Amino acid sequence: MHRRHFLKTLASLPLAYAVTNPLQAAAFPATGGYRSLFASLPSAQFAEEDLLRLANGAGPDLPGMSAAPEMLTDTDDQPLRNDAGEVILSATHETELDDEENYGLPAGFTYLGQFADHDITFKADDAFAVKGQDGVNHRSARFDLDSLYGAGPGLQPSLYNADGRTLARGRALTQGGRPSASFDHPRIKGVAVIGDKRNDENVLVSQMHGAFASFHNALAQDRPKASFAELRQLVTWHYQWMLLTDFLPRLCGDKVMHSLLPALAEGRGPNFGRSHRTITADLRPGEMPLEFSDAAYRFGHSAIRSVYRLNAQMTGTAEEQRRNPAAAGRKFIFAAVDQAGLNGNRAFPQEWAIDWGLFFETRGAMSPDQIALGAQKVQPSYKIDTSLVNPLAFLPEFSQDGTPAAKTAEGFAKPKPGAIANLALRNLMRGQASGLASGQDVARAMGYDPIPDADLMVGKATVDGLATNRSITDYGDSFQGQAPLWFYVLAEAQYTWCNRARALRGDDLAKNTLPGHLGPVGGRLVAETFVALMELDPDSVLHAPRHWHPAYGQGQHFGMVDLIRTAGLG
């Protein structure tokens, strides 16, 4: 692709999250922009064909970041197809080890991360930033749950019940025909009536939004005399406490969190003492680091599984159980066939009530020993590495649908004209358009020795990958000595995991089930941004009285499991 055409494609990308409700647009005015933490570093420039090759691969000998799909095959190893000519996707059986799973991060945290992202960032047209021109953030850049509460009951009463204190819920959902504590959103012609329509992008983030609504309503029931403002502050402080003490330690590691918030290392709450911020020391209220929004925090895309189980009562049809037992009852994150995937922006089937015990450790710790539980086990996220599951190469919002002409020979959806449906390519292009420095330059600026090119590998963090993954420099000369920051953050986490796996004295099972988290550059970028946004917000939990601690959970401990239980969901 010539540079002229490449930049034309950037400019013509379709609007992703346009604000179509004038009231919603007024509720979220521009509050700040996006800025670089390392503005003095040179922008990394890569050849367009190298970015394309890195995202898509160049045949079986040089696979890209978009992993090949698991599919059913016949005795000649040829893909089986359904009546529409689409290949039939499959997955590792629930009673078998999936070597891509991360036993340090239950799958629910992937979608908690997406929910948190929607709380602090919102580009109304999802336009890629242009170097030297800060984009507009239509969120407050504060963890204040405006994506849940909207403009509040005074300006957006449609989000609330008549009491003006509790959040409205939609129709009740079921598990195996039995009532559950889960609800769909209120909807008008299938469109969710919620504070941020992005929280209906897929069924999992949709129900995550619902879990927070249920948590708010549970606190309102416990405190019948509390005002809405009092309830919102209480919910927000519990949410922020959980992010700092449960979510971030799992993603970034205790070492990073203890250096950033020394009170945590002393067994105190995060609201005791000041933080030790470095790279965000000059950040101003309302500002969002581009290195976070356009690179580091996009690590979560690699943690997404291709397939999830919502509840154990969903077993699939008799035909699915016969033909594709490994996937029967589970749903792919995106699928072309209606009801086959967890695609959002629609009322989903009533029996799709989520069992949060399959996404968080509400019934016991997640471990490889749970494989014997099959459909009842906690589902891990995937490891943070330089591989994204195949459905993310065909994002529904940017893909054609309907006719056979809109599909590839394999039955996958083609991109809409002028659109880019491959998430890996979108992220790589976004970083280049934003003018981000290379991962190596950012590492040096943060005081870390950069990882050698030969160790920046493309592929999965698995035992097989230790032997077969290829260096990023195999994908193009423009990657010599410099890597896109988003890729570097993923490769750094993978490099850290690979070193631990190689040093482990054990079999392949022990190595493949090693947990993993972000490395020092990615971990610091993510953790410090979270802490900075809270420290710059005078109403956050970091500015709560030192004697304050969560009213739920146990003592100073309040994690996502406690939120789920308090909400009555597990």
Structure-token pair, residue 299: 């690590």
Residue 545 pLDDT > 80, yes or no?
yes
- Res. 27: pLDDT tops 80: no
- 534 within 8 A of 557, measured Cβ to Cβ: no
Q: Identify the pLDDT of residue 14.
A: 29
- Counting Cα atoms < 13 Å in the Cβ hemisphere of 69 gives 24
Residue 566 has pLDDT above 50, yes or no: yes
Q: What is the mean pLDDT of the chain?
A: 90
For the stretch 59-74, pLDDT in tens is 889 999 998 888 888 8
pLDDT at 401 over 80: no
Q: How far apart are CA 90 and CA 389, in angstroms?
A: 12
Instruction: Please give the structure tokens belonging to residue 314.
Output: 């969903």
Beta strands in 249-361 (DSSP E): 288-289, 307-308, 331-332
Handedness of CA 331, 336, 339, 344 (dihedral sign): positive
- Which CATH architecture describes the domain 3-437+514-566? Orthogonal Bundle (1.10)
The crossing angle, in degrees rounded to 10, of helices 485-503 and 423-434 is 120
Give the residue, 265 or 403, on which the prediction is more confident: 265
Instruction: Quote the crossing angle between the two packed helices 423-434 and 3-11, to the nearest 10°.
Output: 100
Domain range annotation of the chain: 3-437+514-566
Which residues have CB under 8 Å from 86's CB, separation 6+? Answer: 336, 337, 407, 410, 411, 412
The mean-pLDDT minimum among 248-252, 357-361, 405-409 falls in: 405-409
Amino acid at 544: A
Residues 6+ apart with CB under 8 A from 157: 164
Task: Determine the Cα–Cα distance for residues 364 and 464; give it in Å rounded to an integer.
Answer: 30
Provide mean pLDDT across the span 42-63: 96
Residues 100-149 pLDDT 10s: 999 999 999 999 999 999 999 987 555 555 444 456 777 789 999 999 99
CA 180 to chain CA centroid, Å, is 26
DSSP 74-96: -TTSPBPB-TTS-B-B----TTS
Q: Compute the distance between CA of residue 519 and CA of residue 513 in angstroms, rounded to an integer.
A: 18
How many CB atoms sit inside 10 A of residue 308's CB?
A: 24
* Strand segments (E) across 11-166: 32-35, 101-106, 136-137
Q: What percent of the chain has pLDDT over 70?
A: 90
Proportion of the chain above pLDDT 90, given as a percent: 78
Average pLDDT estimate for 252-279: 96
- pLDDT score, position 552: 96
Cα 461 to Cα 386: distance, rounded to the nearest angstrom? 8
Mean pLDDT of 401-430: 82
- The confidence score (pLDDT) of residue 174 equals 96
β-pair partners for 388: 66
The pLDDT tens digits of the residues spanning 164-212 come to: 999 999 999 999 999 999 999 999 999 999 999 999 999 999 999 999 9
- What are the tens digits of pLDDT across the range 305-321? 999 999 999 999 998 89
Q: What is the mean pLDDT of residues 64-88?
A: 86
Which of 43, 163, 66 lies closest to 432, judged by CA? 43
pLDDT band at 337 (very low <50, low <70, confident <90, very high): low
395 band by pLDDT with thresholds 50, 70 and 90: confident
Please give the Cα distance from 518 to 299 (Å, whole number). 8
Q: Are 45 and 432 in contact (CB under 8 A)?
A: yes
Q: Tell me whether residue 568 is exposed, middle or buried, using C-beta atoms within 10 angstroms of its C-beta: 0 to 12, 13 to 18, 19 or more.
A: middle
- Burial (CB < 10 A; 0-12, 13-18, 19+), residue 161, is middle
Kindly state the average pLDDT of the residues 475-498: 98
